């Protein structure tokens, strides 16, 4: 049996009803969202269900959307069924003032360092992570550099006008 | 020492019996800047803590400020042993975002370059396993051919290591006759050297004793750790991006995916060797395929993204307009999220790109294969000898530039 996007969507909606939402096909990958406290339930279901079998965590990262008040930080999981090479993407959103997300490192060993990376750059607090410390940056750093409030260009420069040169 | 002996430990307490040993950050056997804090019991490793980030350069942040065509130079510096694969992977990500289809000849030329880069990458890794086990000959022997591959890169794009090869939509210039001559020359001379290299190692008793059963991992654990590339295939899982998610016309080629069984250093070595043979065959097939195609085509018709020729910019109105628009970042880009993965030298190199329609990405995340599988290193070396830790590290094909991004 082939694993179609419709089948995955029905299966998830059958299990979680309105707890999973915003199913959208981004190019070739089915993307959906779930409330932040629900992420482990969905991930466990995707991993354990015999028909779905998303046992491989391909990628995990975070994105900062400063304009989405109350859900500024997104954590993006990309899972793959290694047999059928089907991929899906799961997003959870969390407020930046209390960015608590349950860790997936007990389900996927891959997530261990990827979550440390997301913590290092975005400050996502992965609750239950065995070793949530900075991985790339120095330990003394007291900010999260990939957040959008830290522009790359030096702020004292006036010769580069954003109106003229884009973002 | 004298001070330590004067310490009076409470009755019944146990003194620390193990020795802490720093392997790296600058150690000749780590082949890159990463540190491993090993906990040694005699010569056995009981624990290892990898520390990374020594050459972190914040590529993901820099990419948020750069136009798409300038990000290629950042990808060079990820896995610098096979930078053309990274370059092509990035171009393909942007082409997927804008929905471009490429002429067959461009795709096949890319296959030739990517497979050459894969051979170079595997040659470095496998010959360095030899060096770390004390067999220097093979290393010197195959590096002549890595040099030939770099000369081909030089002929195609002008540089050798950090290639910045190709553009969004194709190549910056057509392959010259000399480039094809060099590729043909490589195809003619390399198989004999590769055979000799295999004869030196594959059934070499000393090499086998050093590598068999060292640094092994089961298929299940490897999948859970997110292994990809030759390291995963050595465990017996035939997952290869070129067949699982075909790109750049790989579906037109006939090739097989070698797999191992135990996932140890020896299996990784053999899988890479066999992949080199498959790559040679892929290049030969691609050379046959492009012989029938129009030899003047080397890029797609994408005037909005592909920089026009300089003489056209000075003589033609449209070329001038497009040139201006591309350079000033006025090109319309679709809003969306795209993920594209390519089979890099050491695993699945993925680009997760979020575009908000601006001239540079809103967010770009590199899925770096060796960053992900390096976290399995403590498990691979626990219980083995110090010399095994070194050979396990070189067999994983860890590239510091890619780990740290």
User: Mean pLDDT over all residues of chain B?
Assistant: 91
What is the predicted pLDDT for the residue at A162? 60
User: What's the rounded Cα separation, in Å, for the pair B84 and B157?
Assistant: 10
User: What's the rounded Cα separation, in Å, for the pair B364 and B367?
Assistant: 10
Question: Is position B274 within any domain?
Answer: yes
- Note the ipTM here: 0.91
Task: Give me the residues of B, 76-105, that contact A with CB < 8 A.
Answer: 96-97
Backbone φ and ψ for B208, nearest 5 degrees, come out as -65, -40
User: What's the rounded Cα separation, in Å, for the pair B23 and B393?
Assistant: 11
Of the candidates B279, B280, B283, B265, the residue with the CA atom closest to the CA atom of residue B126: B265
Contact B20, B40 (CB under 8 A): yes
User: What's the rounded Cα separation, in Å, for the pair B120 and B140?
Assistant: 13
Q: What is the nearest CA distance from A108 to chain B, expressed in angstroms?
A: 6
**How many residues does this entry show for chain A?**
167
Do B53 and A152 count as a contact with CB atoms less than 8 A apart?
A: no
Angstrom distances, CA of residue B108 to CA of A99, B97, B112, B301:
46, 21, 6, 17
Question: Is position B373 within any domain?
Answer: yes
B304's CB contacts (< 8 A; 6+ apart) are B98, B322, B325, B326, B331, B332
Of the candidates B314, B347, B400, the residue with the CA atom closest to the CA atom of residue B241: B347
User: What's the rounded Cα separation, in Å, for the pair A40 and A54?
Assistant: 13
Backbone φ and ψ for B96, nearest 5 degrees, come out as -65, -40
Do A167 and B61 count as a contact with CB atoms less than 8 A apart?
A: no
Mean pLDDT of B357-380: 91
What is the predicted pLDDT for the residue at B175? 94
Q: What is the nearest CA distance from B143 to chain A, expressed in angstroms?
A: 32
Residues of A with CB under 8 A from a CB of B: 26-27, 29, 31, 55-59, 61, 63-64, 76, 78, 82, 85, 87, 89, 108-110, 112-114, 117, 121, 134-137, 145-146, 152-153, 165-167
- Residues spanned by the domain of A19: 5-102
- Averages of pLDDT over each 10 residues, chain A, 167 residues: 84 89 90 92 92 92 92 94 92 93 93 94 94 91 90 68 57
pLDDT at residue B77 tops 70: yes
Which one of A110, A137, A166 has the shortest CB-CB distance to B56? A137
pLDDT tens digits for range B115-168: 999 999 999 999 999 999 988 999 999 999 999 999 999 999 999 999 999 999
Please, what is the angle between helix B265-291 and helix B177-201, to 10°? 150
Count of domains forming chain B: 1
Q: Is B325 on the interface with A (CB under 8 A)?
A: no
Do B358 and A167 count as a contact with CB atoms less than 8 A apart?
A: yes
User: What's the rounded Cα separation, in Å, for the pair B367 and A115?
Assistant: 13
Q: Is B52 on the interface with A (CB under 8 A)?
A: yes
Question: Is position B54 within any domain?
Answer: no
pLDDT at residue B28 tops 50: yes
**Residue B239: CB atoms within 10 Å:** 23
Do B375 and A27 count as a contact with CB atoms less than 8 A apart?
A: no
Tell me which of B6-15, B37-46, B175-184, B311-320 is least confident: B6-15
Distance of CA B187 to the CA centre of its chain: 21
- pLDDT band, residue B113 (cuts 50/70/90): very high
Q: Is A73 helix (H, G, I), strand (E, B) or coil?
A: strand
The label of the residue with tokens 């999260």 reads A144
pLDDT tens digits for range B182-210: 999 999 999 999 999 999 999 999 999 99
Task: For Cα atoms B290, B291, B297, give the angle at the middle one, nearest 5 degrees.
Answer: 55
Do A113 and B375 count as a contact with CB atoms less than 8 A apart?
A: yes
The CATH number assigned to the domain holding A65 equals 3.30.460.80
Task: Give me the residues of B, 202-261, that contact A with CB < 8 A.
Answer: 221, 223-226, 237, 239, 244-245
Task: Give me the residues of B, 260-279, that contact A with CB < 8 A.
Answer: none
Percent of all residues in chain B with a pLDDT value above 70, rounded to a whole number: 98
Question: Is position B53 within any domain?
Answer: no
B36 CB-contact burial (10 Å; exposed 0-12 / middle 13-18 / buried 19+):
buried
Do A113 and B61 count as a contact with CB atoms less than 8 A apart?
A: no
What is the predicted pLDDT for the residue at A33? 93
Do A114 and B360 count as a contact with CB atoms less than 8 A apart?
A: no
Question: Is position B1 within any domain?
Answer: no
Do A152 and B62 count as a contact with CB atoms less than 8 A apart?
A: yes
Backbone φ and ψ for B336, nearest 5 degrees, come out as 165, 180
Contact B142, B273 (CB under 8 A): no
Residue B338, both tokens: 């795209």
Do B352 and A112 count as a contact with CB atoms less than 8 A apart?
A: no
What is the predicted pLDDT for the residue at B2? 44
Which one of B64, B224, B329 has the shortest CB-CB distance to A165? B329
- Which residues in A lie closer than 8 A to residue B218 (C-beta atoms)? none
pLDDT tens digits for range A146-159: 998 888 766 666 66
Contact B323, A13 (CB under 8 A): no
Of the candidates A35, A34, A53, the residue with the CA atom closest to the CA atom of residue A44: A53
pLDDT at residue B111 tops 90: yes
* Number of A–B residue contacts, CB under 8 Å: 96
Contact B203, B176 (CB under 8 A): no
Do A113 and B404 count as a contact with CB atoms less than 8 A apart?
A: no
Count of domains forming chain A: 1
Number of helices (H), then strands (E), in chain B:
18, 6
What is the predicted pLDDT for the residue at B66? 86
Of the candidates A61, A62, A42, the residue with the CA atom closest to the CA atom of residue A52: A42
Do B339 and A78 count as a contact with CB atoms less than 8 A apart?
A: yes
- Which residues in A lie closer than 8 A to residue B376 (C-beta atoms)? 109
Question: Is position A163 within any domain?
Answer: no
- pLDDT band, residue B14 (cuts 50/70/90): confident
Question: Is position B268 within any domain?
Answer: yes
The CATH number assigned to the domain holding B333 equals 1.10.645.10
- Residues spanned by the domain of B179: 59-404
Residue A64, both tokens: 């900062």
Mean pLDDT of B208-232: 92
- Which residues in A lie closer than 8 A to residue B348 (C-beta atoms)? 58
Residue of A nearest to B361 (CA): A167
What is the predicted pLDDT for the residue at A113? 94
Which one of A85, A114, A167 has the shortest CB-CB distance to B372? A114
HEC string for B227-281: CCHHHHHCCCCCCCHHHHCCCCCHHHCCCCCCCCCCCCHHHHHHHHHHHHHHHHH
pLDDT tens digits for range B315-329: 999 999 999 988 887
Plot region of B218 (φ>0 → left; ψ -120 to 50 → alpha; else → beta): beta
What is the predicted pLDDT for the residue at B285? 95
**Is cis: bond before B25, omega within 30 of 0?**
yes
pLDDT tens digits for range A97-117: 999 999 999 999 999 999 999
Mutate to test the interface with B, among A30, A33, A74, A113 (most CBs of B within 10 A): A113
Do B224 and A110 count as a contact with CB atoms less than 8 A apart?
A: yes
Do B337 and A57 count as a contact with CB atoms less than 8 A apart?
A: no
What is the predicted pLDDT for the residue at A54? 92
pLDDT tens digits for range B281-316: 999 999 999 999 999 999 999 988 999 999 999 999
B248's CB contacts (< 8 A; 6+ apart) are B88, B92, B102, B107, B110, B111, B114, B342
Do B65 and A167 count as a contact with CB atoms less than 8 A apart?
A: yes
What is the predicted pLDDT for the residue at B4? 54
Residue A81's DSSP bridge partners are A86
Question: Is position B29 within any domain?
Answer: no
Q: What is the nearest CA distance from A30 to chain B, expressed in angstroms?
A: 11
Mean pLDDT of B102-108: 94
Question: Is position B197 within any domain?
Answer: yes
pLDDT at residue B3 tops 60: no
Q: What is the nearest CA distance from A2 to chain B, expressed in angstroms?
A: 14
Angstrom distances, CA of residue A19 to CA of A14, A23, A32, B96, B252:
10, 12, 10, 31, 42
Q: Is B62 on the interface with A (CB under 8 A)?
A: yes
Which one of B336, B358, B372 has the shortest CB-CB distance to A110? B372
Q: Is B69 on the interface with A (CB under 8 A)?
A: no
Give, as one character, the DSSP assignment of residue B374: G
Task: For Cα atoms A27, A29, A32, give the angle at the middle one, nearest 5 degrees.
Answer: 115
């Amino acid at each position: 049996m082939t694993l179609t996007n419709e089948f995955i969507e029905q299966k998830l909606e059958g299990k979680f009803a309105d707890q999973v939402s915003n199913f959208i096909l981004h190019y070739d990958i089915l993307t959906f969202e779930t409330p932040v406290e629900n992420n482990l339930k969905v991930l466990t279901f995707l991993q354990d269900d015999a028909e779905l079998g998303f046992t491989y965590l391909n990628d995990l990262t975070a994105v900062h959307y400063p304009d989405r008040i109350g859900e500024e930080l997104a954590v993006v999981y990309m899972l793959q069924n290694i047999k059928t090479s089907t991929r899906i993407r799961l997003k959870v959103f969390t407020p930046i003032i209390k960015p608590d997300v349950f860790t997936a490192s007990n389900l996927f060993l891959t997530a261990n360092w990827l979550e440390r990376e997301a913590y290092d750059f975005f400050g996502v607090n992965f609750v239950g992570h065995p070793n949530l410390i900075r991985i790339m940056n120095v330990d003394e750093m007291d900010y999260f550099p990939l957040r959008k409030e830290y522009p790359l260009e030096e702020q004292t420069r006036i010769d580069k006008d954003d109106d003229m040169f884009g973002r | 020492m004298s001070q330590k002996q004067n310490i009076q430990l409470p009755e019944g307490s146990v003194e620390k019996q193990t020795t802490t040993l720093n392997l790296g950050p600058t150690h000749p056997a780590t082949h890159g800047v990463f540190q491993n804090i090993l906990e040694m019991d005699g010569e056995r490793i009981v624990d290892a803590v990898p520390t990374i980030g020594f050459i972190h350069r914040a590529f993901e942040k820099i990419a948020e400020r750069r136009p798409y065509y300038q990000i290629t130079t950042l990808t060079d510096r990820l896995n610098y042993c096979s930078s053309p694969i990274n370059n092509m992977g990035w171009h393909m990500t942007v082409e997927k975002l804008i929905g471009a289809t490429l002429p067959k000849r461009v795709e096949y030329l890319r296959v030739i370059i990517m497979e050459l880069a894969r051979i170079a990458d595997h040659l470095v890794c496998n010959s360095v396993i030899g060096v770390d086990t004390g067999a220097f000959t093979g290393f010197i022997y195959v590096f002549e051919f890595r040099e030939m591959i770099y000369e081909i890169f030089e002929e195609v794009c002008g540089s050798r290591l950090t290639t910045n090869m190709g553009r969004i939509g194709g190549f910056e210039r057509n392959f010259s006759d000399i480039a094809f001559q060099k590729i043909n020359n490589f195809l003619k001379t390399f198989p004999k050297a590769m055979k000799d290299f295999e004869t030196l190692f594959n059934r070499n008793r000393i090499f086998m004793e050093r590598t068999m059963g060292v640094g092994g991992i089961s298929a299940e654990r490897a999948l859970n750790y997110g292994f990809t590339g030759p390291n995963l295939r050595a465990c017996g899982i035939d997952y290869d991006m070129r067949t699982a998610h075909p790109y750049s016309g790989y579906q037109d080629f006939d090739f097989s995916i070698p797999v191992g069984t135990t996932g140890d250093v020896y299996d990784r070595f053999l899988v890479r060797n066999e992949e080199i043979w498959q790559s040679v065959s892929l290049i030969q097939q691609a050379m046959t395929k492009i012989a029938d195609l129009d030899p003047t085509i080397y890029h797609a018709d994408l005037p909005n993204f592909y920089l026009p020729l300089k003489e056209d910019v000075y003589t033609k109105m449209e070329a001038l307009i497009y040139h201006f628009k591309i350079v000033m970042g006025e090109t319309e880009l679709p809003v969306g999220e795209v993920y594209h993965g390519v089979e890099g030298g050491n695993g699945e190199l993925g680009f997760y790109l979020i575009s908000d329609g601006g001239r540079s990405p809103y967010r770009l995340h590199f899925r770096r294969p060796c960053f992900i599988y390096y976290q399995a290193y403590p498990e691979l070396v626990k219980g083995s000898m110090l010399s095994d830790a070194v050979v396990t590290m070189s067999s994983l094909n860890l590239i510091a530039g890619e780990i740290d991004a």
